[in-house]
Amino acid sequence: MNLQPQFARSKVVPVRNAARIAPPPRLSRKPERRTPRSYESAPPDAILFISVACLVAIGMVMVFSASSTTAYAVHHDVAYFFKRQLMWLGVGSLAAWGAFRIDYTKLRAFAPALFILTTLALVAVLVPHLGASVNGSRRWLGISSLSIQPSEFAKLTLVFFLAVRLADMGERILSFSRGVVPLLVATFLVALLIQREPDMGTASIIVAIGFAMLFVAGARIPHLLGGLLFTAPVVVYSIFAHSYQRERILAFLNPWKDPLNYGFHIVQSLYALGSGGWWGVGLGASREKFFYLPEQYTDFIFSIVGEELGLIGTLTVVALFIVFATRAVKIAMRAEDRFGYFLALGCTALIVVQAFINIGVVTSSWPVTGVPLPFISFGGSALVVDLIAVALIANVGRRRRIGS
Amino acid sequence: MVPPRRSRETAILKRNFARTATDRARWFYIGIVCFGVFLAGKLAVVQAMQGPGLARDALAQRSDTIDVFARRGSILDRNGAVIARSLPSKSIYAVPHDISDPDTVARKLGKIVGKLSPDTIAALHDKSLWFIWIARKVDHSVAARVAALNLVGVAERREKTGRRVYVDGPEFSSTIGFVGTDENGLDGLEYSLNPWLQGRSGKETLETDEMGRPLPFGHPIVLKRARPGYDVELTLDAYLQFVTERALEKQVKKYHASSGVAIVMDPKTGAILALANLPHFDPNHFWRYTNAQRRDRAVEDAYEPGSTFKLVTAAAAIQSGKVTLASRFPARDQITVGGHTIHNADDGFTAGSHGTESLENIIAYSHNVGAAEVGMSIGARTFYNMERAAGFGEPTQIELPGENPGIVPKPSQFSGSSLATMSFGQGVAVTPLALTRYYCAIANGGLLLRPHIVHAILKHNGKLVYRYPVQIERRIFSEKTASILRKFLRAVVRYGTGDPAAQIPGYTTAGKTGTAQIEENGVYQPGAYVASFIGMIPARDPRFVILVKVDRPIGSYYGSQVAAPAFDTIARAAMLHAGLLPQVVAKRR
């Protein structure tokens, strides 16, 4: 397999004559394209599609199962959340179809505007009368069930923005002050706004995506470490400023120390996973979802997967994410242009980093941060964003230069 | 696009930039796979290795041992109509911690379960509380209405004991009694039959949710099976009870009386068919009444029976043979015995001062002086023996609690005038029930029965467990004596004090009026009387013995005026209810 990125091999030379050979008889009244295409569409990556479809299918079933208790108790309709998730799957599929069909290279021009728009939305969320407050954090814009979470879209926007900048920048990424610093500043700006909501989980995901993209762009390791060193005081301060936050974040080290308070989430999550054993207690038969495990259909849905489907189910999900990552990275490395390369890798990071941090949290390997599990957790904005991200990866993979 | 500074290192990096990026993508991928493998390992540890232990802890966390409801037995009348029954109940509680708007919640709940107390409302505002009761033991329908409000932080739980419902309210109340909040019988039959009625709640270990509600697919472990209580069928007849209560109530109200008792008894079996007390109370809300209102006066209160007790004197006289139907006693309206002057009542049936009268006349006209003369002629021992044989001075052993044995002084305790006054019912105390039982013996030919109010004990599925038999205590006097006594009682109604108040067209009745003074602290209270009537119907072969007693009537105190009308009403209803129609009497021209 040749893993050499295509863009590195030669300059793009439009082959105008290729399209003129034997023009097909046109039946439609649509006028003929003035400048013929220099790219053709390859069939979409089947394995990528299947792995994501499996994850989405597992997610829909598990959202129905895990949310049914809360849905019935609060809304007297077991399918309350399932129906909403189904609606968002529809919206997400349409958006993904659009993201798949569009010529992604033409999106480059929108990146700065999109970035500014997202930043404004994140600021708007913090304005008292615009942002809806749930459980003490302002994350939503809009009303009730139709609200959107700008921080979810911010992930995608940042990936997009960084991909454009990195593609334009080229070797300049090797420079600290002109390459690494501006991009890190942009990343931290977004992360800081999200952290103010407060939403430490998404903020840390933003930072992780930023560093991952700089890393794959070839930024020098000492530069990245310098950037990390710069963030360290902020992280340390936010952890140790308030004792409750410290206890909460460090609870994963020993959840049994305080199982009814700070360790509660993790202990219940481990109970759920442990109860599942090898084969699970059976689909729908989770006990922990009966109000023992908090956030059982959002951030801790993976515990319910573990309880109902067992180790077999959880390993399947992990394997599906690795299969997805394998195909996504392969597509990125075969990308026709630098922008596609960065876009695909950024989207991959967006999904896989979230997935593994989420699984890390529920297995008590990582501090408790509110991160949803892509494709599986309940949440409309996240599902739409994740589906768009996958579509963009597939879009990158589809683009083949004619004749290559 | 000029690199910041030209150095050898930068130049090399620039040349190899594409290579570097590819390597970085590889490292990125390797990082993902490593992280994935790490997580897979961690999952294997948690789920496969630590799994069984965690599963055990999780099961312990959600297991909850709960009490299982056991229904308290119903109380039924002789025809199976429900008098008291228990319904499964629920209690409503709140979790103040989860309530965001306590005032709205309190207002909405108040509309359904009744206004909440200030303490409860204050507790609803206290965010640190996780549990408070809103309402204990409400109907399922009330709980359903609360559930329909769909309030966050308000929930319900089943109770192990039910909610007692007394279908007829105050009817039967003093006999049936009532239960406490834990369905423990506190008074009346609920108390005395508690061992039969009470169910035994069971215990089960269930898988429950965080709020303690059972999970839909949990596997309950039965630690102790719940056993519902036995149903109790009484001898009371709901229809007769209704009629008796109304008839008594009418007389008590008409004469502004302080209290009243009416008993209907079957003389052949000793079964009590109706037992009414006034004042009565609503056992559904027993705590709103005083002890005096909740008294079962028919068995708990002994009173001086007055003239109705003359039948004991007569029985002793006839059975001992010391007095015959032909015996004559001097007719007088006043006599002094042992320094105590005895008068006949001034009721229009005075004896005059000349001539003689028979025992039948003494009974029919209710002459105190005559009764005293009869009593003195037979002697204290004969009289006392008859009193005791008739079951006075001992409990009747009916199933009702708190029975008063009455007061029957021994001959050795008699003063100079005791025998004379006791002969017409002064100086002895008996309960209405004991007196009714004695009249049953007259009605049934001389057999003293044990009165009973419980007919049968049934299992919750209707299967018979135990039937209370007819119990004959002893024979008091011969059938001959009984028929003579019935003749006397018939005479009372035919031409004596009971004429015409106790006469019922189409039926023959027999009975005795009674008017007694009420004694308090050894002094007879002026103007305080007990007016009573005990009758039987039909006179030849009585089916019903009916006692009506009205205490402290105002306006009149004669048994014939105050009590006999109630006897009339009850007796007619009882006969018709038994299917015994009145016989047509040819009108005199």
Q: CA of A293: which chain B residue's CA is closest? A: B210
Residue B370 near residue B331, CB atoms below 8 Å: yes
Query: Nearest CA to CA, how far is A306 from chain B (Å)?
Result: 8
pLDDT at A1: 45
Residue B278 near residue B248, CB atoms below 8 Å: yes
* DSSP bridge partners of B275: B263
The verdict on a CB contact (< 8 Å) between A276 and B152 is no
- Separation CA B76–CA B53 (nearest Å): 54
- Separation CA A247–CA B416 (nearest Å): 96
* DSSP bridge partners of B340: B337
Mean pLDDT over A15-43 rounds to 61
- Separation CA A57–CA A127 (nearest Å): 37
Does A148 or B441 have the greater pLDDT score?
A: B441
pLDDT of A55 > 90? The answer is: yes
The tens-digit pLDDT sequence of chain B (589 residues) is 444 455 555 555 555 666 667 778 888 999 999 999 999 999 999 998 888 998 898 888 888 887 888 889 999 999 989 999 988 888 888 888 888 888 888 888 888 888 888 888 888 888 888 888 888 888 888 888 888 887 888 888 878 788 899 988 898 988 999 998 888 889 899 999 999 998 888 888 888 887 777 777 767 778 888 888 999 999 999 999 999 999 999 999 999 999 999 999 999 999 999 999 989 999 988 888 988 888 889 999 999 999 999 999 999 999 999 998 888 988 888 888 888 888 888 777 877 777 888 999 899 998 889 999 999 999 999 999 999 999 999 999 998 988 999 999 999 988 888 888 999 998 899 999 999 999 999 999 999 999 999 999 999 888 999 999 999 999 999 999 999 999 999 999 999 888 888 899 899 999 999 988 888 877 888 888 999 999 999 998 999 999 999 999 998 888 889 999 999 999 999 999 999 988 876 666 5
Please tell me which of the candidates A170, A178, A292 has its beta carbon nearest to residue B62. Answer: A292
Residue B330 near residue B351, CB atoms below 8 Å: no
pLDDT at A88: 92
Cα–Cα nearest to A289, from A60, A69, A62, A61:
A69
Residue A307 near residue A280, CB atoms below 8 Å: yes
- pLDDT tens sequence across A278-290: 998 889 888 888 8
- A20, with CB counted inside 10 A (0-12, 13-18, 19+), is exposed
The verdict on a CB contact (< 8 Å) between A217 and B24 is yes
* DSSP bridge partners of B523: B520
Cβ neighbours of residue A66 under 8 Å, at least 6 residues apart?
Answer: A286, A289, A296, A297, A301, A304, A378
Does B453 or A139 have the greater pLDDT score?
A: B453
- Separation CA B179–CA B182 (nearest Å): 8
Q: How many helices (H) and strands (E) does chain A have?
A: 13, 4
Residue B565: phi and psi, rounded to 5, are -60, -35
* DSSP per position, B261-295: EEEEE-TTT-BEEEEEEES---GGGGGGS-HHHH-
Residue B108 near residue B116, CB atoms below 8 Å: no
Scanning A278-307 for CB atoms below 8 A from B yields: 278, 285, 287-288, 290-292, 306
Mean pLDDT over A178-196 rounds to 85
For A116-128, give the secondary structure using H, E and C. HHHHHHHHHHHCC
The verdict on a CB contact (< 8 Å) between B39 and A272 is no
Q: ipTM for the complex?
A: 0.86
Query: Nearest CA to CA, how far is B153 from chain A (Å)?
Result: 10
CB contacts of A69 in chain B (<8 Å) are: 209
Residue B506 near residue B584, CB atoms below 8 Å: yes
* DSSP bridge partners of B532: B514, B549
Structure tokens that stand for A249 in this block: 């974040």
Torsion sign, CA atoms A64, A65, A70, A71 = positive
Q: Cα angle at A224 between A186 and A161, to 5 degrees?
A: 30
Does A173 or B191 have the greater pLDDT score?
A: B191
Q: Is A177 on the interface with B (CB under 8 A)?
A: yes
The verdict on a CB contact (< 8 Å) between A5 and B51 is no
SS3 of A167, please? helix
pLDDT at B204: 83
Q: Cα angle at B500 between B497 and B503, to 5 degrees?
A: 110
- Separation CA B308–CA B320 (nearest Å): 20
Mean pLDDT lowest for which of A90-104, A255-269, A304-318, B328-342? A255-269
Mean pLDDT over A174-197 rounds to 84
Does B12 or A103 have the greater pLDDT score?
A: A103
CB contacts of B10 in chain A (<8 Å) are: 174
pLDDT at B546: 96
Which of A68, A278, A330, A365 to probe by mutation at the B interface, max B CB count within 10 Å? A365
pLDDT of A191 > 70? The answer is: yes
CB contacts of B51 in chain A (<8 Å) are: 273-278, 311
For B107-150, give the secondary structure using H, E and C. HHHHHHHCCCCHHHHHHHHCCCCCCEEEEEEECHHHHHHHHHHC
pLDDT of A5 > 70? The answer is: no
Band of pLDDT at residue A295, cut at 50, 70 and 90: confident
Residue A26 near residue A32, CB atoms below 8 Å: yes
- Separation CA A38–CA A25 (nearest Å): 20
Mean pLDDT lowest for which of A142-151, A388-397, B237-246? A142-151
Query: Nearest CA to CA, how far is B11 from chain A (Å)?
Result: 10
Band of pLDDT at residue A36, cut at 50, 70 and 90: low
C-alpha to C-alpha distances, A205 to A197, A251, A383, nearest whole angstrom:
14, 20, 16
Q: Is A363 on the interface with B (CB under 8 A)?
A: yes
The verdict on a CB contact (< 8 Å) between A333 and B25 is yes
Chain A / chain B CB contacts < 8 angstroms: 164
Mean pLDDT over A25-33 rounds to 60
pLDDT at B3: 45
pLDDT at A10: 47
Residue B522 near residue B304, CB atoms below 8 Å: no
Which of A65, A69, A287, A326 to probe by mutation at the B interface, max B CB count within 10 Å? A287
pTM of the model: 0.64
CB contacts of A174 in chain B (<8 Å) are: 3, 10, 13-14, 17
Q: Is A329 on the interface with B (CB under 8 A)?
A: yes
Please tell me which of the candidates A172, A212, A318 has its beta carbon nearest to residue B39. Answer: A318
- B395, with CB counted inside 10 A (0-12, 13-18, 19+), is middle
Query: Nearest CA to CA, how far is A403 from chain B (Å)?
Result: 23
The verdict on a CB contact (< 8 Å) between B39 and A341 is no
- Separation CA B139–CA B147 (nearest Å): 12
pLDDT of A138 > 70? The answer is: no
Q: CA of B39: which chain A residue's CA is closest? A: A360
Task: List own/partner pairs for A43-48 with CB under 8 A and 24 or more apart.
Answer: A43/A398, A44/A100, A44/A394, A44/A397, A44/A398, A45/A327, A45/A331, A45/A394, A45/A397, A47/A323, A47/A327, A48/A324, A48/A327, A48/A328, A48/A331, A48/A390, A48/A393, A48/A394, A48/A397
pLDDT at B120: 84
Mean pLDDT lowest for which of A10-14, A351-355, B117-121, B340-344? A10-14
The verdict on a CB contact (< 8 Å) between B36 and A326 is no
